[in-house]
Chain A
Amino acid sequence: MDKKDLKVIAFLAYKNIAKSKSTFLVIIAVMAMSFLSITFFAAIIDGLGYEFEEGMIEGLTGHLMIEPTKDNLYLENTDLLVKNIRRIPGVVGVSKRLESSVIVTYKNTELGVPVFFITPPDELKVSSFHNNIIQGSYLSEKDGKELIIGADIIESYAKEDDTQKRLNVNVGDTVKLSFSNGYTEDYKIKGIFKTGSKFSDDKILINYDEYNKIFDKGDVASKILIKLPERGNEDYYKQKIIDLGVSDQINPWQTKMGAVKQFVGSLQITNQITGFIGLLTAFATIYIIIFINVTNKRKQIGILKAIGIKKQIILGSYVLQSFIYGVVGVIIGNIVMQILLMLLTLYPLSMPIGDVVPMLTTTRLITTSVVLIFASVIAGFFPSKKAADDNILDAIFGG
């Protein structure tokens, strides 16, 4: 194949497309729809998975989490450690927490609830509780006998068919907390938060200073949460923290996903299966459409051969046409998808776990685009190869 052959290939492909605009439009519409049907559902599932992970990161783990080694119950000398980690360039926020549990009593209801003792100003940079206060207000450093409470343990926020035991409380109400050491104290509800993550919204948050008043343990913490600029650099920052001489466990958020990991993993497998079926369906649809289109041109292929146009040129022109169908269809599908993503970023899908923004990963975008273009080329290749290999007289006169 030389330059002159390529010129004829391009010329024939261009003329076929330009003169058969309606066919061209139908094929690229099918391509674009196929692209959308594969990527849109996948993007929602990916968005859902991302939202679950973010819920864990924003509420429970941060991007990195320092925890005591197996033999220790607490991290010690935490104030200095928090200060030192905060000095690492790029670290967004550091906050220590003490995790415990309490029995909450309100009127005749008693409920066991996990509790986080937090440093409110530090938490602003690490978690999203402050952004999700739906009633009342967030804790301040000076708040002593006050707490904020997750919406999932409040009766008025329960769904109609949910019969789980909850507290019938509201902002301003006082609840009695009974701690594991037998200490009992009344706390006023200052605010109610609802992050949308079931892993966060079943907690009570109290000022860290209260912990020492109750347990008198000194400068200790169950965890130190570290917020980084973005996902993906955990190893780099982990090393920086190790360089500070930290011998406790430094765990990235991925290691703490547990059930979320299984759930997101299941979603991703579902996604892969539906994506694969979607690709097969798209492949079959595109193949049939292009097959019919090329089969209808059998006579012309015969004529071109009869007048001395090389088989490779004829084949090349149909493969090029199919490639153009694929590329244009994928580009249009991409444009429509980007518009949809933009709209859904502005107006996210409201789901029970919270607002979900569909996410189209570069890998999925490239894979889908390449597979659809490949399907299109293959769909063009086989019928045109068959027609080009046909006996000239059979192609022209039928047979």
Chain B
Amino acid sequence: MAKKIIINAKKLERVYFNGTIKTYALKDISLNIKEGEFVAIMGPSGSGKSTLLHQLGLLDIPTKGEILIDNEDVVNLSDDKRTKFRLKKLGYVFQSYNLIPELTALENVYITPMAQGITTEEYKEKAEDILKKVGLGDRINHYPSELSGGQQQRVSIARALVNKPKILFADEPTANLDSDSSRETVKLFRQLNKEIGQTIVMVTHELEEGKKADRIIWVKDGILDNNKKLK
């Protein structure tokens, strides 16, 4: 059976205005990502790959175009509905981990299920389970400052996955990690994708990491670079 399209972007455009000067960060981008796909977005620095991820991940609003996620038009959602959508259907892994320093690993992970209103026992159990899955079962009560970069990124992945999101967005998740941790992180993504069918959209500038994905979407100067096809 053909896999369902989970992300459908049409003619996306993101323009930044500086007075009368218009700068196109993205222009005329249309793409589809299927459910269960592991997609890498690649391109040179300043090509617009992170901007594209931010539009698809509802962290920013495109100037023009349409985005359907799970058949829902997400561009025209109100601010509150976008927040709710992010909470329930999307997960994020950032380049610099972006954990909340005042919360332990466990708390960083259970803050979003807590916000969904499930019982204390349930969200703690869910957070513990996912932390164990990413190999941090013994570090759950540690604060981010007490964890290595690789461990922090795994907490960040656990936080992104705890609500079983439809799509996991990762913005250069290995940029701040050493090569071992980078390999581990991408391996974990691959494993999650294969084992639970997690849809993953990852921005990276490392070709080796991109090759681990099912498909690479190349971006250059804010437009899709369809000539460059590695996979």
In contact, B100 and A300 (Cβ under 8 angstroms): yes
A244 at the interface (CB under 8 A from B): no
In contact, B114 and A19 (Cβ under 8 angstroms): no
* CB proximity of A328 to chain B, nearest CB, Å: 18
Chain B minimum-CB-distance residue to A17: B102
| Complex interface residues of chain B between 68 and 125 (CB less than 8 A to chain A) | 79-80, 83-88, 90, 92, 94, 98-103, 107, 111-112, 114-117
In contact, A307 and B59 (Cβ under 8 angstroms): no
Chain A minimum-CB-distance residue to B95: A397
* CB proximity of B121 to chain A, nearest CB, Å: 14
Kindly list chain A residues whose C-beta atoms are within 8 Å of the C-beta of B80: 310-311
In contact, A309 and B60 (Cβ under 8 angstroms): no
Chain A minimum-CB-distance residue to B86: A308
Q: How far is the CA of A20 from the CA of B85 in the complex (A)?
A: 31
Give the interface size bracket for A toward B.
Answer: 20 to 34
Kindly list chain A residues whose C-beta atoms are within 8 Å of the C-beta of B143: 19
In contact, B83 and A305 (Cβ under 8 angstroms): yes
Q: How far is the CA of A307 from the CA of B93 in the complex (A)?
A: 10
| Chief secondary structure at chain A's binding surface | helix
* CB proximity of B123 to chain A, nearest CB, Å: 10
Q: How far is the CA of A309 from the CA of B115 in the complex (A)?
A: 7
In contact, A393 and B60 (Cβ under 8 angstroms): yes
Q: How far is the CA of A343 from the CA of B159 in the complex (A)?
A: 55
Segment of A8-16, A79-87, A369-377 in the binding face: A8-16
Kindly list chain B residues whose C-beta atoms are within 8 Å of the C-beta of A303: 94, 98-100
In contact, B111 and A19 (Cβ under 8 angstroms): no
In contact, A310 and B60 (Cβ under 8 angstroms): no
Number of residues of chain B lying within 8 A (CB) of chain A? 30
In contact, B101 and A19 (Cβ under 8 angstroms): yes
In contact, B114 and A11 (Cβ under 8 angstroms): yes
* CB proximity of A93 to chain B, nearest CB, Å: 65
Given contacts A4-B117, A15-B102, contact A309 B59 (CB under 8 A): no
In contact, A309 and B111 (Cβ under 8 angstroms): yes
Given contacts A16-B102, A396-B98, contact A307 B112 (CB under 8 A): yes
* CB proximity of B161 to chain A, nearest CB, Å: 12
Kindly list chain B residues whose C-beta atoms are within 8 Å of the C-beta of A299: 98
In contact, A311 and B98 (Cβ under 8 angstroms): no
Kindly list chain B residues whose C-beta atoms are within 8 Å of the C-beta of A307: 86-87, 92, 111-112, 159-160
Kindly list chain A residues whose C-beta atoms are within 8 Å of the C-beta of B85: 308
A-B contact pairs, 20 of them (CB 8 A): A4-B117, A8-B114, A15-B107, A16-B102, A18-B102, A19-B102, A19-B143, A300-B100, A300-B102, A304-B100, A304-B111, A307-B159, A308-B87, A308-B88, A308-B90, A308-B112, A309-B87, A392-B60, A393-B59, A396-B98
- Which residues of A are in contact with B by a Cβ distance under 8 Å? 2-5, 7-8, 11-12, 15-16, 18-20, 299-300, 303-311, 313, 391-393, 396
A303-B98, A308-B115 known; 6 new pairs, CB 8 Å cut-off, are: A19-B102, A300-B101, A307-B111, A308-B90, A308-B112, A310-B80
Q: Which 6 A-B pairs have CB atoms at the shortest separation, nearest pair first? A: A308-B87, A4-B117, A19-B102, A308-B86, A303-B98, A15-B102
